Amino acid sequence: MKPSETSAAWTSQRNGDKLAFAFDLGNASSPAGSFSSVGCAASCHSNLGSSVMYPSSGKVDIWNWDLALSSPLGYAVDMVANTDSLSHDNGNRLYYRNSNGNTGRSGPAYEWDGSTQTVTLPNGQSSILDPAFYLFNKTAFIGNIQRGDSIYQSATPPGDCVSCHGSVGQGGSSSIINTISQNKKSRAALMASMDNIADMAPYWLPLSQQDRDDIVAYLRGLSGVPGYYLNTPDGSNADIKAISNLTPIQVKNAMLPVTNVHTVYQLLITRKLNTTNTDDAQFDLTTQRSYTFGVALMDNDGKNHIGSLKETLIFK
């Protein structure tokens, strides 16, 4: 689908490999039928053939495991679909859109602050997030990308980065600079490295601090800033724990010569039977042992997915 905004700007897509479970929260239904009879189809197709992702009536508890946004911190995203929205549960969320405006085209609000991104997983173990892929420890993104583009493309020094590095950082007489590995350097470290390259002195050293910040903003656009920033969830948003066999940096990336070694995703999701939260489906085994649910799989495409109709969870 072509975005309505101009393509000559930032972009941040929402796709990724995902696995979603749906449980009835309040007599959900759609033109396909009631949740109790058709399961998942009642939870996300209020008009058959449309891309509307919520029911015509009632509401549904959605458990959503996302390759890029769930696996790094060990949670699944906990959401509620009702008749007019798909919203996150109460509490601090697992992730937020890294945008300084209302659209993904408006540019990032944050970049990596340069500190080691150590996180504590739900099982108490620690993990370090690679800043080339994930944004957790953040600082405000600064610089004007359009002005940085102008300085980068200037025909004479200072600036004039294009003559050595190519029009979009693809490389020329000097190195390629539009790879995601550039995100492994903080802004301060990137600038310090350029301060110490003798061949760059005529182009870089005469620039003002504002000029340098603007050029780095442009370089961030070439290499890509994570479109979301991660956050340790709490409240109802922290109900669902998820452990997988995934090593995120082993997933194939178009800009890196790395292959996905995972032929099959293996995922273990755990949650209390009764969370006491009103935005969660509750499982009371003293009154009911059988629960209808649905499953949806998304192959790097959030809208065009495959799903089961009616599945039944039985506690024995």
Burial of residue 162 (number of CB atoms within 10 Å: 0-12, 13-18, 19+): middle
Residue 134 has pLDDT above 70, yes or no: yes
Q: What is the mean pLDDT of residues 278-293?
A: 94
Higher pLDDT, 137 or 247: 137
Q: What is the DSSP string of 18-29?
A: EEEEEEESS--E
Reply yes or no: is the peptide bond before residue 158 cis, omega within 30 of 0.
yes
> Which tokens hold the place of 309?
């109709």
CB–CB of 240/78 below 8 Å? yes
Q: What is the pLDDT of residue 254?
A: 44
Per-residue pLDDT of 189-220, as tens digits, reads 999 999 999 989 999 999 999 999 999 999 99
Residues 6 or more apart whose CB falls under 8 angstroms from that of 222 comprise: 168, 169, 177, 178, 182
d(CA 276, CA 230): 26
Question: Kind and range of the H or E element at 192?
Answer: helix 187-195
Q: Please, which pLDDT band fits residue 3 given cuts at 50, 70 and 90?
A: very low
Q: Could you identify the residue written with the tokens 């039944």?
A: 312
Prediction pTM value:
0.87
pLDDT in tens, 221-235: 998 899 899 999 999
Q: What is the pLDDT of residues 54-99, one digit of tens each?
A: 788 889 999 999 988 988 999 999 999 888 888 999 999 999 999 8
Range of weakest confidence among 112-121, 206-215, 228-237, 289-298:
289-298
What is the DSSP annotation of 50-110?
Answer: S---S-SBS-EEEEEEETTTTTTTTB-EEEEE-SS-EEE-SSS-SEEE--SSSSTTS--SE
- pLDDT tier at 268, thresholds 50, 70, 90: very high
3-state class percentages of the chain: helix first, strand second, coil last, to nearest 5: 20, 20, 55
What is the mean predicted confidence (pLDDT) over 229-253? Answer: 82
- Domains in the chain: ranges and CATH: 18-94+233-314 (no CATH), 142-223 (1.10.760.10)
Contact in structure between 22 and 45 (CB atoms under 8 Å) = no
